[in-house]
Amino acid sequence: DAGITQSPRHKVTETGTPVTLRCHQTENHRYMYWYRQDPGHGLRLIHYSYGVKDTDKGEVSDGYSVSRSKTEDFLLTLESATSSQTSVYFCAISPGTSGSQHLYEQYFGPGTRLTVT
């Protein structure tokens, strides 16, 4: 999986609890992304990062926050988990840089299956 790992791989949590998912890469790529995958919706972008401490929102960012203090780690936090956040979460990295067509070639991690009860 292109030097990208996600942890945990599975998690069950209760409504209202905070949850943090971790994405770790060994490729030293600048761009990283968090997606959620739900049946009938494909993959939807939650947040992305274009460098250390540089992040921006995607199309479904409400209820999520991210942080990137090191190039290799991109954290996704659900401040207070809700049942609607039950999903499979994927992290992706891109070897491209701004202005490069390789920016749109994304490599995905194995995913984290999160269940909020």
Minimum Å gap between C-beta 37 and another protein is 8
Show contacts with another protein in window 33-72 (CB under 8 A): 33, 40-45, 48, 50, 56, 58-59
Out of 3, 24, 65, 103, the residue judged to bind another protein by CB under 8 A: 103
- Cβ burial 2-16 (10 Å sphere, 16+ → b, else e): eebebeeeebebeee
Residue type, 58: G
- Is the distance from CB of 91 to CB of 6 less than 8 angstroms? yes
Q: What are the residues binding another protein (CB under 8 A)?
A: 1, 31, 33, 40-45, 48, 50, 56, 58-59, 90, 92, 94, 96, 98-99, 101, 103-111
